[in-house]
Structure formats: structure tokens, C-alpha cells
Structure 1
Amino acid sequence: MKPEAVIFDIGNVLIEWNPERFYDAQIGPDRRRAMFAAVDLHAMNDRVDSGEHFRDTIYAVAEATPDWADEIRLWHDRWIDMAAPEISHSVRLMRALQARGVLVFSLTNFGIQSYDHAATHYPFLRAFDRDYISGHMGVIKPDPAIFAALEADCGVAPEALIFTDDRADNIAAAAKRGWHTHHFTGPQGWADRLVTEGLLDPSEAV
């Protein structure tokens, strides 16, 4: 079945997301490794992506970890510098699909306030036909519940969805539900897949 709707993850598909790279530039690789060993910052971010308040959650972790408080607060205060730059080829693919009249959804682990902040820098985040943002949904990928919630809301059969994500566990969870999937490792591979699926012509996928 030819897909009827295309679903994009955002982090490392439409926008680069690499906190380690950011901290390496700010405090050096050795101190960054020490901080990430001392504080589970990705678990902190998962709490934000699950719906907890962006600033309050990060600042509370900073207050509880005085040895790294200033550095932890950067996760909030300099967040847009971590979520950068946009992956321009992927954004062009999104726009090309919509120009063809193909439905394009997001399915992303993202906080409520952090998404709003990101959208002020990346206007394309407001251009999806439907947004499925974990912070609003109260559940994060790869929990099967987030995929089921999208199916229940969007009105498109699972076998008519195609989803790209950079994480293999998220791809596996979607594939179990019968979705077409593409493990994103770069925009050219995703462009080629969209052409193969008949959703774009090669001239539109550049």
C-alpha cells in the first residue's frame, strides 16, 4: 500500500540534537563526561518530554546538584544552541511532500515549553498537518501508547503510515504496529525512500 501520511521525528531528523557536542564546546570533553556521569541529564530531559515544566524541572535538578548547577541550567538557558542547526534537506522534503498534498505529521519526544521555544526559531515546526508532541500527550517514544494515540487520532490506517526516526527502538515500535518505517541516518537516504514509495519525484527530493 502506498503511504497516505508521512510522519517525521524532529530531533536528528529535522533539527540536529546533540547536547554532548554543545557541552564539549562550553566546558570541554573531560568535564562534560564527568558531568554526564554524575547527573542523568537525558533522564531529566525525558521528564520534560513527558510533560513536566521545562524550566522548573531543569532548575530543580541544578539546585539539587550544586557542583554542576551552572552547567545544568544551560540545558534550559542555552537550549536552542543545543537544538541546532536545522537539517535543511529534511525540511525541504517536508515542504515538497506538502506541496504535493501529502499529509505530513510530527511524532516527537519534545517538551511543551521547549517546543514552543523551538518553533520561534524554526517556523516549519508550526507547518505540520498534525502535531503529536510527547509533552502534550504525556507519554514518550518508544512506549506503544504514543503510537496507538496517533493512530486513534489521525484517521489513517497503520499500514498507510510511513515514519522516519533516528532511533532504532522507536522504529522497531512503529514497525510492530504495521507502519512503514525508515531508520533515519541522513536526509539523502530518506529522500531516496520517499522517491521509492512514489511520494516524491527525484527532482522534488533534492
Structure 2
Amino acid sequence: MAVQAVIFDIGNVLIEWQPERHYDRVIGEARRREMFAAVDLHAMNDRVDQGENFLAMVQECAAAYPAFHDEIMLWHDDWLHMASPAIPQSVTLLRNLRRRGVAVFALSNFGVETFEIALPEYPFLGEFDRSYISGHMGITKPDPQIYAQVEADCGLSPESLLFADDRVDNIKAAAKRGWQTHLFDGPEGWADRLVQEGLLSKEDAGL
């Protein structure tokens, strides 16, 4: 079926999301490894993505692990440094799809407050035709219900949706619902897929 909407994940598709890399720069790799072995910071962040308050979650985690209190608080205080930089070619693909009249949606595991922090830094996050942000939805990928909510809201058939995400589990869950999918491992492959689908010219895709 012809693609009627292209759906972008955000983290590691449009914006690099590498908390470990930032911690390595700030506190050193050895200390970062020690902390991440002791504290499940990604589980904490999952709660933020499910809609819980960003600052409250980080403060709760920091209080539970006083040996790493100051380092854990950096998850809040340095968040923009962890969610950076933008991936320019992916942003160009987003904008050129919209310029060509293709509907473009976001579907991302993202907190309510963190998305508000990101918007001024990354204006393209406000350029989607529809944005499905897990913190607002109260559910995260790869739960099948988040894909069902997207389908119900946009009114398009699953087979007409083309979804790019960097995580295999998220892609598999979408494919089970009948979505067309692309496992993102860099903007060049994504650009090539969009050209193959007839959604962009090679020039517009930067190929």
C-alpha cells in the first residue's frame, strides 16, 4: 500500500540521545560505569517517558542513591547536553517530506517536561503534522496500545504508515500491527528508503 504518512522516532533518529557519552565527559568513564552498574537510570527515565514528573523522578532516584546524588542530578540539570546534537540530514528529510506534501508524524518515548525543554532548542520538533509523545499519552513504545492510539487518532490504515525507529523492539511491535517499518541506523539508509518509496527525489534526500 502507498505510504500516506511517515512517522519519525526522535531520540537517535532526529536528535542524538547518548547519556553515557555525556557522563563520560563530565565525570569520567570509570565513575560513569560504576554509577550505571549500581543505578538503573534508564528505568528512571522510562518513568519520565510514561508521564511522571521529570524533576521529581530524578530527585527521587538521587535520594535513593546518596553515593551518586550529585551525578544523578545531572540527568536533570544537563539533560540538553545528553539529548544533543540534532542529526541534520534527518531534519532535512523531515522538512523536505513536508515540503512535498507528505504527512509527517512523531512517535517518541519522551517526557512531558523534557519535550518542553527540547522544543526551544530544536524548533523542528514543532513542525510535525501530528506529535505522539509518550509522556502525554501515558504509555510507551513498544506497548501495542501506543500504536493503536496513533491509528485511532490519525484515521489512517496501519499499512499506509511508514515508521522509522532505532530500536528493534519498537519496530517489531509496529510491524505486528501491519505498519511499514525502517530500522534506523543512520540518515543515509533512511534517505534511501524514502527515495525507494517514491516520497523524495534523490536530490531532496541528499543522495
State the partner residue of 2:145. Answer: 145
Deviation at 1:2, TM superposition (A): 1.4
Deviations 1:132-155 (A, max 9, x none): 000000000001010010001011
Deviation at 1:64, TM superposition (A): 1.6
Map 1:142-181 to 2 at 5 A: 142-181=142-181
Q: Distance in 1 between matches of 2:124 and 2:136?
A: 19
Deviations 1:97-119 (A, max 9, x none): 00011000000000000000001
State the partner residue of 1:50. Answer: 50
Deviations 1:73-119 (A, max 9, x none): 00000000000000000000000000011000000000000000001
Structure 1 runs, 4 residues or longer, greater than 3 Å off: none
Q: Distance in 2 between matches of 1:74 and 1:109?
A: 20
Query: What count of residue pairs does the alignment treat as equivalent?
Result: 206
Q: Distance in 1 between matches of 2:158 and 2:49?
A: 24
Backbone CA RMSD of aligned residues: 0.5
Q: Distance in 1 between matches of 2:2 and 2:88?
A: 25
State the partner residue of 2:70. Answer: 70
State the partner residue of 2:26. Answer: 26
State the partner residue of 2:197. Answer: 197
Q: Distance in 1 between matches of 2:107 and 2:184?
A: 14
Q: Distance in 2 between matches of 1:140 and 1:68?
A: 27
Q: Distance in 2 between matches of 1:51 and 1:141?
A: 13
Amino acid at match of 1:28: G
Q: Distance in 2 between matches of 1:118 and 1:183?
A: 24
Deviation at 1:5, TM superposition (A): 0.1
Gaps of 5+ in 2: none
**Secondary structure in structure 1 of the residue aligned to 2:140:** coil
**Secondary structure in structure 1 of the residue aligned to 2:163:** strand
Q: Distance in 1 between matches of 2:174 and 2:60?
A: 34
Q: Distance in 2 between matches of 1:75 and 1:57?
A: 10
Amino acid at match of 1:44: M
Amino acid at match of 2:22: F
Q: Distance in 2 between matches of 1:9 and 1:81?
A: 19
Q: Distance in 1 between matches of 2:74 and 2:28?
A: 14
Deviation at 1:59, TM superposition (A): 1.0
Deviations 1:136-177 (A, max 9, x none): 000000010100100010111100000000000000000001
State the partner residue of 2:99. Answer: 99
**Secondary structure in structure 2 of the residue aligned to 1:51:** coil
Amino acid at match of 1:62: A
**Secondary structure in structure 1 of the residue aligned to 2:104:** strand
Query: Normalising by the residue count of structure 2, what TM-score does the alignment of the two structures yield?
Result: 0.99
Q: Do the aligned residues in 2 keep the contact of 1:48 with 1:111 (CA within 8 Å)?
A: yes
Q: Do the aligned residues in 2 keep the contact of 1:2 with 1:198 (CA within 8 Å)?
A: no
Deviation at 1:65, TM superposition (A): 1.1
Q: Distance in 2 between matches of 1:160 and 1:44?
A: 34
Query: Normalising by the residue count of structure 1, what TM-score does the alignment of the two structures yield?
Result: 0.99
